[in-house]
Amino acid sequence: MLLNLHVKNIALITDVDMNFEKGFNVLSGETGAGKSLIIDSVNFALGNRVPKDIIRENEEYALCELTFLVEDEELKERIEELGVSPEDDLVILSRKIMNKRGIARINGETVSAGTLKEISSLLIDIHGQHEHQSLLYKSKHLEILDEFLKAELGAYPKELNEAFASYTAVCAELEEALKKEKESGREKELLAYEIKEIEEAGLKEGEDEELEKLYRRMQNSKRILEAVAYAHSECGYDAEASAGSAVGRALYRLRQAEGLDEAVSSLCSQLGDIDSILNDFNRAAADYEQSLEFSAEEFADTEQRLDLINHIKSRYGDTITEVIENLEKKRELLLKYDNYEEYLDGLKKSAEAMKEKVISLSERISGIRKKGAGELSEKIRDALADLNFLDARFEIEVTSDNDHLTRKGFDEVEFLISTNPGEKIRPLTEVASGGELSRIMLALKTVLAGRDRVDTLIFDEIDTGISGRTAQKVSEKLALLSRTNQVICITHLPQIAAMADAHYEIAKRVSNNRTETVVNRLTGENITGELARMISGAEITESVLESAREMKKLAGRIKQDGQEPEKQ
């Protein structure tokens, strides 16, 4: 159950802290006081989308925290399966938004909005102001029936969704393959030509880089050779004025004086090193000169090979590695074209097999739906009777069409109803008024609440379009529901408010020249005063106050006895 709601800096709310009770909690207040802000805040905390201007003016952030008490062991296990462990049986959902960035936390740990929604769906269910309008769409009827049969359906819906996705993917591939079948002859010829062109090139990894280096050397060989030959000549021993000859003569003279002074011996050693270096240089220069001797034929062959490699790369890949990878892909594609009939036949068989699986799963699901439709219809009829639909007939029609496969099967589900004796049963989408839709949705919620084990139910103005005796019956149904679930209801009807175990007034006030929404927990005569306001509006007389007291006493007797009052 929801223990506490803490809201800070959301729209007109500065700081609201609400402690909820077990049973039936009611929120009431003047139009425009901010009742919808409470629901907006809860939706915000649950990870739903919120308006851009949700942060209160002149504030830096908006915050909402929901504290739930989780005592049901099965529910604890389901929450733990999602990676959250209740601490002291508490689960705290928190969401903060600032600078257009939202942060969601569960028990202090940051989580994704998806995880927040998934866990919150186990804890709380909200009926929005206009949710009953969704009953006007047949797709909602299928969704409701499947929700009721969640346990019976088990993993079938997920398996069907996956199988249908695979089926549509295979069908799309088959359709594309059939289109290409006519073009396959031309494609095959082109592939064969391209494969032959690449294979005949005989490319090797890294070959292009080595050839480019060699080609640059060949192109610049004349300049390089002249430079190296000049250096070799200047440093060699052939010419009298060369460095090698000069060093040799100098070394010869020094050695003649080497025995005359120890210092000369050191100089001889240094000059000997220079002579050795010059010898090494001259040998290397001579070898390099020989390596630069290319024939015109060698140059032409290298240039031609590079041209071929660059041509292949320009068509099939930026590098030789990419060219080789593309060659393998083209070989595989050609193989597929060589066996195109076999390929098409394989796709057709796969599509047929996937279709059979989709139909098989759809048949299983359809059988469960048709069996469960009767049970849900009966429960809804009972719930509608409690809501002053005394002679209502309600049926769920499930029709199947094997030729119309979807990810949810081949069923169409439609709710049929007759609200008055003697009237023909007709589609709900054609006959129900706004007030009737609200009551039908309440009936559905009460039935589903007993199946999905969600403890807390919030109803935002479920009383739209009803009054009088019907309003009284709705209040009794909500009170009955609150015996097994925590119910939080925003209402403008005194009959519903009188049934509350805890009554909260939503009001506006001006503080420091700023308007803000506040929440007051009502007790005693304050409850009487609020009920009187809801009964008569602005003018509250003693007789209205007395009517309010009587209404509260009657509600107390109904809840205590667990019975409906005698029909008037």
Q: Output the domain CATH number for residue 117.
A: 3.40.50.300
What stretch of H or E contains 521? Answer: strand 514-522
What integer pLDDT is reported at residue 410 of this predicted model?
Answer: 95
Q: Which helix (H) or strand (E) holds 293?
A: none
Separation between Cα atoms, residue 252 and residue 241, nearest integer Å: 16
Residue 8 maps to a domain: yes
Contact assessment for residue 469 and residue 446, using Cβ atoms and an 8 Å cutoff? no
Q: Classify burial at 172, counting beta carbons within 10 Å of its beta carbon; exposed 0-12, middle 13-18, buried 19 or more.
A: exposed
Q: For 5-56, give the DSSP string.
A: EEEEEETTEEEEEEE--SSEEEEE--TTSSHHHHHHHHHHHTT----TT-BP
Please give the pLDDT value at position 568. Answer: 32
Averaged pLDDT for residues 235-258:
77
Q: Is residue 497 part of a domain?
A: yes
Among 5-14, 277-286, 377-386, the range scoring the smallest mean pLDDT is: 277-286
Are residues 201 and 70 part of one domain?
A: no
187 vs 181: CA distance, rounded Å: 10
Q: Do residues 106 and 235 share a domain?
A: no
Examine the domain organization and report whether 460 and 557 are in the same domain. yes
Residues whose CB falls within 8 Å of the CB of residue 25, separated by 6 or more in sequence, listed in order: 486, 487, 488, 489, 500, 501, 502, 503, 504
Say if residue 115 is in the same domain as residue 190: no
Task: Give pLDDT, residue 222.
Answer: 64
Residue 141 lies in a domain: no
Q: Structure tokens of 256?
A: 């003649």
| Residue range of the domain that includes 230 | 186-338
Domain boundary residue, one of 304, 338, 372: 338
Shared-domain flag, residues 285 and 198:
yes
| Residue where one domain finishes, among candidates 290, 307, 338 | 338
In a domain, 166, yes or no: no
Residue 74 lies in a domain: yes
With tokens 């068989």, the residue in question is 349
pLDDT band, residue 530 (cuts 50/70/90): very high
Give the pLDDT confidence of 368-378 residue by residue, as tens digits: 999 999 999 99
Give yes or no for a contact between 488 and 459, defined as CB atoms under 8 angstroms apart. yes
pLDDT at 75: 86
> Rg for the chain (alpha carbons), in Å?
44
Asked if residue 324 is part of any domain, the answer here is yes
**Rounded distance, CA 502 to CA 479, Å?**
12
Residues 6 and 113 in one domain: yes
Residues whose CB falls within 8 Å of the CB of residue 121, separated by 6 or more in sequence, listed in order: 454
- Mean pLDDT of the region 487-516: 92
H/E run at residue 397: strand 393-400
Return d(Cα 282, Cα 269) in angstroms, integer: 20
Residue 198 pLDDT exceeds 60: yes
| pLDDT tens-digit series, residues 300-339 | 787 888 898 899 889 998 899 998 999 999 998 888 777 7
| 365 token code pair | 């699901």
Q: How far is CA 378 from CA 368, 383, 444, 474, in A?
A: 16, 9, 11, 19
Taking residues 127-149, report their average pLDDT. 83
The verdict on 125 and 190 lying in the same domain is no
Examine the fold and report which residue of 310, 338, 366 is the final residue of a domain before the chain moves on.
Answer: 338
Is 146 inside any structural domain?
no
**Total of domains in the chain:** 2
CA distance 316 to 306: 15
pTM: 0.64
User: What is the predicted pLDDT for the residue at 7?
Assistant: 95
- Give the model's pLDDT for residue 355: 95
**% of the chain beyond a pLDDT of 70:** 93
Element (H, E) at 533: helix 524-536
User: Is 295 in the same domain as 209?
Assistant: yes
**Is residue 532 in some structural domain?**
yes
| Mean pLDDT for the stretch of residues 84-101 | 89
